[in-house]
Chains A and B, each alone.
Chain A
Amino acid sequence: MSASPDRPWQRLHPLSPVVQLGRSAVGVLVVLAIPYISSSGGRHSGDYFDLAVIALAAAGGLISWLVTRWRVEEGTLRVDTGLIRRRHAQVPLSRIQSVDVVRPALARVLGLAEVRVRTGVAHDGDARLAYVAEEQAENIRADLLAWAHRVTLTQTQDLERPLASVSNRRLLLAVWLQGLVPLEFLLAVLFVIGGFVAPTAPDRSSLLGAAGVWLLLLLLAVASSLNSQLGFEVADAPDGLRIRGGLLGTVVETLPRPRIQAVRQIEPLWWRPMGWVRIDADVAGGQRRKGEDRGAAGQLRILLPVATRAEAATFLAEIAPGASRPRTAAPSRVRWKAPLSYHLLRLGVEPNWVSAATGRWRRVTTWVALAKVQSVRWSQGPVQRQMGIASVHLDVAGRQVGVSLRDRDRTEALQLVEQLADLCRVARRQLPSPIALPPLPIAAEDPQPATIEGTDSGPT
């Protein structure tokens, strides 16, 4: 561990309590609104109550600012917080996986930023410096990365290679066509029409009120997904994939590649006419960490919110080298079991990846890196036993369960289980594979465009 110079204890920026207060503004407003909602309270006492609440919140913010300090010493980042229950967080610089600078809306207005240090530990393994001045945040980030990886920041920024970006126009259109949003919008419009057509006034107002609430919820959902995806850009940096996006809070997240367990390409029904797809990644340690903003948390990281199939293919060749579209179809007798989707079930097995495609309305193609597989499971229900088919499941870390190779012929499933265990072990140790794959029956060419050939077949 290279010697990092010991620095004296430093405080966060004095305006940080203001930003913290802003973030908890909703809670404060709710508390303030209670006396007004329960009408009767006299005006006089109401004023004092409001002042008391605000003063309490401000005092809380001030105290937490006073007791928080941080420094870098002996190869460790130390952050002390808390008045009654002191918390001494120590992050060894060598364990740092990524350092991000986050600017929520209110902080940006005041010229502040938050530095988030992520380690590989799932729970309580992060350190946050909320909030410091913007330039100082960049300097801190550069210094921490330099000590952690012995790489200067200018180097990493020069080596950043843009992979993909999403045009805002396309995003604005796509976000309205996702999931149930079109149906909800239609319902709201129907409510409005019903409201105008209704014969009696109370009916009219209640229908319009319901339509209003529905529209508001819809707009909030759309706004929150826009919030994290406007101006979306993904770049390839030495320490991982750098993801930028968002209007009100420009989140820069660096996703180290080893954390990616599985990659998923989703083609929703409404996007089919335009040929758009979405790419997610299942990330290890994906449980929502304390303090992580909701846009970035959750079980999946969105790697590419909207893209055409060709763009998605290029992107996939970058993040999943060696993976191609699954080609092997399910046996034809599966038609009786899964009539709507059987002819779209596909499987692909390669030295480093296993992929599966399912779904009729919402096609999902999943690629799992063999080196990341945790366990292999085989299952056969009574109906499957009668038909002579079985399913194989590959589990990965992270909240999603992995890939299911559903409804394969029983001999094929046997082969898969017996070989995948060995293939996974070999992939983990990055040895050349001594096992020759027997040729699986290739289905008739499906009408999708050409196979993606990765440039190198090393495991990610």
Chain B
Amino acid sequence: MQDDDAPLAIDTFRPASDGRPNSAPFADLPNWNRISPSLRKIRQLEVAAAAVGCLILGTGAGILSGVGFLAPLVVAVVGVGWGLAAVYMWRRAGSWGYLEREQDLLVRRGVMFRRLSVVPYGRMQTIDVTAGPLERAFGLATVRLHTASAATDARIPGLNRCDAAVLRDRLSTLGEVGAEGL
């Protein structure tokens, strides 16, 4: 599902031919699907909301406590933290990718802690499409896969709503066709 207006920005999963040694498995496959860039905006909004909340609480406490330098210190700390978190979340939101192969679905994510999940179609038990309030505002949704194992954490956030529905239907059909017993 190509998102045509998605800029191929910071890609933390470079292909192996790039010479970087620590790429994830399957990184050299060409048709990894990206997610919508609006997810980055959503994450920035979440980080901003958390930072503003900390700021208000911190400066309020600083002013109330009467200690002179506490309020500016809190502002400085929260400011630095906000900057770091914003950069980290930007890269992290850009690291999501998924790839539909013949027999299974690959989902990758992560910047510092990189992860890749391989879920065979025949093992998919339920596929949910959910959307929180921010996601709904931007017209996005999250597709979640469930297998019989509690540890399968494959989910794809930041898909367009209709793309998400189409993906869910396709995965359900493939899942039923290839369903194998427990």
Binding site for B on A (CB under 8 A): 120, 258, 284, 372, 374-382, 385, 388, 393, 395-399, 401-402, 410, 413-414, 417-418, 420-421, 424-425, 428-429
Residue in A376, A388, A396, A402 whose beta carbon sits within 8 Å of that of B117 in the complex: A376
Do B113 and A379 touch across chains, with their CB atoms under 8 A apart? yes
Say whether B104 faces chain A, with CB atoms less than 8 Å apart.
yes
Do A377 and B116 touch across chains, with their CB atoms under 8 A apart? yes
Chain B's closest residue to A414 (CB) is: B25
Say whether B21 faces chain A, with CB atoms less than 8 Å apart.
yes
The secondary-structure label for the interface of chain B is loop
Chain A's closest residue to B24 (CB) is: A378
Say whether B148 faces chain A, with CB atoms less than 8 Å apart.
yes
Expressed in whole angstroms, the minimum distance between the Cβ of A84 and any Cβ of chain B is: 33
**Residues of chain B contacted by A429 (CB below 8 angstroms):** 180
Expressed in whole angstroms, the minimum distance between the Cβ of B176 and any Cβ of chain A is: 16
Given known contacts A378-B115, A424-B120, is B149 in contact with A397 (CB within 8 Å)? Answer: yes
In whole angstroms, what is the CA distance A424 to B103 when docked?
11
In whole angstroms, what is the CA distance A376 to B153 when docked?
11
Do A421 and B182 touch across chains, with their CB atoms under 8 A apart? no
Do B113 and A381 touch across chains, with their CB atoms under 8 A apart? yes
In whole angstroms, what is the CA distance A429 to B122 when docked?
11
Could you name 27 residue pairs across A and B whose Cβ atoms are closer than 8 Å?
A: A374-B152, A375-B154, A377-B153, A378-B25, A379-B114, A381-B112, A382-B112, A382-B113, A385-B22, A385-B114, A388-B22, A393-B151, A395-B151, A395-B152, A397-B148, A399-B150, A401-B149, A402-B151, A417-B26, A417-B116, A418-B25, A420-B118, A421-B118, A425-B120, A428-B122, A428-B180, A429-B180
Say whether B34 faces chain A, with CB atoms less than 8 Å apart.
no
Residue in B22, B104, B153, B182 whose beta carbon sits within 8 Å of that of A397 in the complex: B182
Say whether B159 faces chain A, with CB atoms less than 8 Å apart.
no
Say whether B147 faces chain A, with CB atoms less than 8 Å apart.
yes
**Residues of chain A contacted by B117 (CB below 8 angstroms):** 375-378
In whole angstroms, what is the CA distance A399 to B151 when docked?
9
In whole angstroms, what is the CA distance A398 to B182 when docked?
11
The secondary-structure label for the interface of chain A is mixed
Do A375 and B116 touch across chains, with their CB atoms under 8 A apart? no
Say whether B161 faces chain A, with CB atoms less than 8 Å apart.
no
**Residues of chain B contacted by A401 (CB below 8 angstroms):** 149-151
Expressed in whole angstroms, the minimum distance between the Cβ of B98 and any Cβ of chain A is: 14
**Residues of chain A contacted by B112 (CB below 8 angstroms):** 381-382
**Residues of chain B contacted by A380 (CB below 8 angstroms):** 22, 24, 113-115
Do A258 and B182 touch across chains, with their CB atoms under 8 A apart? yes
**Residues of chain A contacted by B147 (CB below 8 angstroms):** 374-375, 395, 397
Chain B residues 129 to 182 lying within 8 A of chain A, measured CB to CB, are 147-154, 180-182
Do A375 and B118 touch across chains, with their CB atoms under 8 A apart? yes
**Residues of chain B contacted by A375 (CB below 8 angstroms):** 117-120, 123, 147, 149, 151-152, 154
Expressed in whole angstroms, the minimum distance between the Cβ of A401 and any Cβ of chain B is: 4
In whole angstroms, what is the CA distance A381 to B180 when docked?
33
Given contacts A375-B123, A418-B25, 17 further A-B contacts (CB under 8 A): A374-B119, A375-B118, A375-B119, A375-B151, A377-B117, A377-B151, A377-B153, A379-B114, A380-B22, A393-B151, A395-B152, A399-B150, A402-B149, A410-B21, A420-B118, A421-B104, A425-B104
Expressed in whole angstroms, the minimum distance between the Cβ of B104 and any Cβ of chain A is: 6
Do B21 and A388 touch across chains, with their CB atoms under 8 A apart? yes
Expressed in whole angstroms, the minimum distance between the Cβ of B126 and any Cβ of chain A is: 13
Given known contacts A382-B112, A424-B120, is B151 in contact with A284 (CB within 8 Å)? Answer: no
**Residues of chain B contacted by A397 (CB below 8 angstroms):** 147-149, 182
Do B149 and A374 touch across chains, with their CB atoms under 8 A apart? yes
**Residues of chain A contacted by B180 (CB below 8 angstroms):** 428-429
Do A379 and B115 touch across chains, with their CB atoms under 8 A apart? yes
**Residues of chain B contacted by A258 (CB below 8 angstroms):** 181-182
**Residues of chain B contacted by A414 (CB below 8 angstroms):** 25
**Residues of chain A contacted by B120 (CB below 8 angstroms):** 375, 421, 424-425
Expressed in whole angstroms, the minimum distance between the Cβ of B100 and any Cβ of chain A is: 13
Expressed in whole angstroms, the minimum distance between the Cβ of B76 and any Cβ of chain A is: 26
In whole angstroms, what is the CA distance A376 to B103 when docked?
13
Expressed in whole angstroms, the minimum distance between the Cβ of A440 and any Cβ of chain B is: 16
Q: Which 5 A-B pairs have the closest CB atoms?
A: A397-B148, A395-B149, A374-B149, A401-B151, A374-B147
Chain A's closest residue to B25 (CB) is: A417
**Residues of chain B contacted by A120 (CB below 8 angstroms):** 182
Expressed in whole angstroms, the minimum distance between the Cβ of A72 and any Cβ of chain B is: 27
Residue in B21, B118, B123, B182 whose beta carbon sits within 8 Å of that of A417 in the complex: B118
**Residues of chain A contacted by B21 (CB below 8 angstroms):** 388, 410
In whole angstroms, what is the CA distance A242 to B120 when docked?
33
In whole angstroms, what is the CA distance A201 to B163 when docked?
77
**Residues of chain A contacted by B151 (CB below 8 angstroms):** 375, 377, 393, 395, 401-402
B92-127 CB mask vs A (1 if < 8 Å, else 0) is 000000000001100000001111111110110000
In whole angstroms, what is the CA distance A409 to B114 when docked?
16
In whole angstroms, what is the CA distance A258 to B116 when docked?
28
Expressed in whole angstroms, the minimum distance between the Cβ of A398 and any Cβ of chain B is: 8
Chain B's closest residue to A381 (CB) is: B113
**Residues of chain B contacted by A284 (CB below 8 angstroms):** 148, 182
